A and B are shown apart, each in its own frame.
Chain A
Amino acid sequence: MSRTAVVTGRCAPLPRAAARAWLDALRAEWTKVRTVPETGWLVAATAALTIAVSTTVIAVTRCAPGTGCTADTTRLSLIGVEAGQAVVAILAVLAITSEYSTGLIRTTFTAMPRRFGMLGAKAAVLTGLVLPAAIISVAGCLLAGREILPGRGFTAARGFPLLSLAHGATLRAAAGSVLYLALIGLLALGVATIVRDSAAATGIVLGLLYLAPIVAALVASPVWQRRIDRYGPTSAGLTIQDTTGGHLPIGPWGGLAVLALWAAAALLAGGLLLRFRDA
């Protein structure tokens, strides 16, 4: 494979060769992920849990006649994303920590010494897995909302039109939720690369996702409350689901950008640690 390199004494591969090496890396990562049974289960569980939680919450929510309901029906329908993100996080954490727990990571690095490239390939494969799961989840949630909500008192006559992707804000919320889940996966992959231990990584990621909003609700200082809401990965990222334009801590796309920054920072830190740390 590197016969020319030996002959000419050149270390830097040609651009085409680099692209090919990365494609090989991608295929290697895909093979690893494809051949463990839990991948399929987790992808299916993402969609199942998201849709199940959304459907349950919608089915028990009611807009009683004679009361002023102020629900954001799009956001309500997409509430299952709060649950589905946990499964995405597990999928992402396992993508790297399972290699550490079995020692496979040393083989991986021997075969693929470019560690940033390896992480990039992992991130790409992970995103390729999460995106279809997220699309199915979001579509299922919106469909559930469309079918069930009118029967629960959220009728067009009372100011709650049928959920439809033709509605700009709903389209943004749906597409944004898909991106949100993908970014959560990347964030979790970054954290897991930093931590390396599966249980610790899961605890930290889920703590970051779920406990930050609770802290925000508890802290005494409104300044800090706003800061946590603006810059916490979940609270900022989920503003993309808002369609009422109410009191948002941060704009919808700005919020998603905050989450993207979190994911990028985690991946960068993970990549740097990979680069400079022994496996």
Chain B
Amino acid sequence: MTTIAPYRAPQRAGRDGFWQLVHAEWTKFRTVRGWLVAVVLAVVLIDVLGLFLVDVGTNQCNGPCVPAVPTGPGGEAVLDSFYFVHQSLSADGSLTVRVTSLTGKYQPQGGPIGPHTTRGLTRFVVPWAKAGIIIDQSTKQGSAYAAMMVTGQHGVRMQYNYTGDIAGLPGRVSPSSPRWLRLTRSGDTITGYDSADGSHWTKVGTVRLAGLPAAVQAGLFATSPVYFQGNFPSYAQSGGGTSPSTATGVFDHVSLRGGPATGTWSGQFTGANARLDSMPGVGFQHADGRFTITGTGDIAPIVGGGANVNFVTGTIADHLVAVIFGLVVLVVIGAMFVTAEYRRGMMRVTLAASPRRGRVLAAKSVVIGLVCFVLGLPAAAIAVIVGAMISRNHGVYVLPVSWLTELQVIVGIAALLAVAGVLAVAVGTILRRSVLAVATVIAVFVLPYILGDTSVVAPDVSEWMFRVTPIAAFAVQQSVPAYPQVMGQYGPPEYFALPPWAGLLVLCGYAAVALTVACSLLRTRDA
């Protein structure tokens, strides 16, 4: 009796590891020519539309109209324009004053800023008008400083190095309720105090100005930023109704202790900004120990949208606005990557070859995610780097950012595309029908984008769209921070309600939920 050996194929059994599955899915993707063309088209669309069609504004002027913009100690672009009455202080010491009044004027109609501004000035203290005392590394623009000041509507503040802001005594200053301010210097450490009566002092804050030289400038200042009127029009528009303004501070009980004080105060408008220093009344008067100083400008970071300066500014992300178009094409392909298998019955073969269904979904997600990321990365890099060059050629001042921020924007956009692609794969798996899946993924990304347009809906609706819907991930585009102490046009596509990582996390959350649902449906449903 002979036993018949069962047939064994001469080939070794194929391995069914995860990477074999990914390879299989990649082969399926790669061999559909229409999809390859479409994904390449998607990223080309991002760059072509973004670089050549987008309006980033132009500085209309002959010759160089953007002044040499200084940068602060933190590397950010700053506005450093104020009227400064100062003395040299070359040792440790302190400066104390009493501020009895802060008044101001602004030009209501916005109009051209320049030699005609003497007409139609209205008395009004803008919310962030500032008058107070300052210890400045030098009178050079962008130098390190620490200052104590009274403001139009935000009480006493200690501000330092352009971005730092600490609140002191609340309330407005007036002759009946004056404010006493003091700055003490010890080496490179400066401490600010405020007081309502000159005898009871409260410490507001202590800051260390690294590398402060022995001889610094200490003195009194006044400045007043441009004022915004009304609501702003839709995003992607710079400007709006901005008005130049001036602020006048009245100081007495000025005492400067320590150092070889020369005893004479000299006044100058620091920060030569040709259009701002032509405001009328800028200067100072000194009589009987009483200083009256009128200044204009601001000591603050420059914010996006050209909001607080009189030239057009931009950010490195300005040319990324066409990402939504590439995104739409990529999510359509992502959804079809699954639904096409259902339509042709290919899904049954796929699941027969790899019965562990969750891994099929994972492999598909990996393939689409990688394709989107790898193609998105150079597209975003070109849009950011070449886009900034094009903006500069238009005379637009592109706000400087660190290379880390630049990397965050580029990698963030690529990650946004990748996660969106994965979400589309999950939606395709859930819905199975091409039409429904394609329509859903388009609506999921484009509808919030349209409903987020502030020209149609109120700004708070727009803000919620960028907070809770998948387009929250566009927050990765934000390259410059928003400052509560600087009035600005804070809104998409430059400023977002969520920080970049949180925005991306919202999209990841949607993708995770969709993947979980898709996985359980794929497991429990017939193919």
Contacts and interface: CB of A to CB of B under 8 A. Distances in A.
Given A60-B460, A62-B458, A101-B343, A207 B328 contact: yes
Interface string B185-196: 000000000000
A202 B450 contact: no
Given A203-B332, A213-B450, A218 B49 contact: yes
Interface residues of A, number: 38
A211 B53 CA distance: 14
Nearest to A75: B456
A124 interface: no
Contact of B458 (A61, A68, A199): A61
A201 B447 CA distance: 18
Contacts of A261: none
A interface: dominant SS: helix
Interface string B434-447: 11111100110011
A171 to B, nearest CB: 22
Interface stretch (B60-68, B83-91, B151-159, B317-325): B317-325
Given A206-B442, A211-B325, A211-B328, A199 B451 contact: no
A259 to B, nearest CB: 17
Given A60-B464, A198-B434, A206 B453 contact: no
A229 B49 CA distance: 18
A82 interface: yes
A206 B447 CA distance: 10
A86 B439 contact: yes
A185 to B, nearest CB: 14
A5 B450 CA distance: 57
A160 B247 CA distance: 39
Given A61-B460, A199-B336, A220-B54, A214 B324 contact: yes
A94 B236 CA distance: 37
Contacts, number: 103
A90 B450 contact: no
A155 B150 CA distance: 39
Given A83-B447, A210-B446, A211-B446, A202 B54 contact: no
A57 interface: yes
Given A61-B460, A62-B458, A83-B443, A203 B438 contact: yes
Most chain-B CB neighbours within 10 Å: which of A68, A211, A217? A217
Contacts of A198: 433-435
A23 interface: no
Nearest to B458: A61
A62 B230 contact: no
Interface string A74-116: 0110010011001101100110010001000000000000000
A218 B435 contact: no
Contact of B55 (A57, A71, A220): A220
Contact of B435 (A61, A94, A213): A94
Nearest to A71: B458
Contacts of B340: 199
A219 interface: yes
A86 B53 contact: no
B456 A218 contact: no
Interface string B223-238: 0000000110010100
Interface string B419-436: 000000000000001111
B325 A202 contact: no
A68 B230 contact: yes
A206 B446 CA distance: 9
Report, nearest first, the 9 A-B pairs whose CB atoms are least far apart. Answer: A220-B55, A199-B434, A210-B446, A202-B438, A198-B435, A206-B442, A61-B458, A203-B332, A202-B435
9 contacts: A57-B457, A60-B460, A61-B460, A62-B458, A82-B451, A86-B439, A203-B438, A203-B442, A219-B54
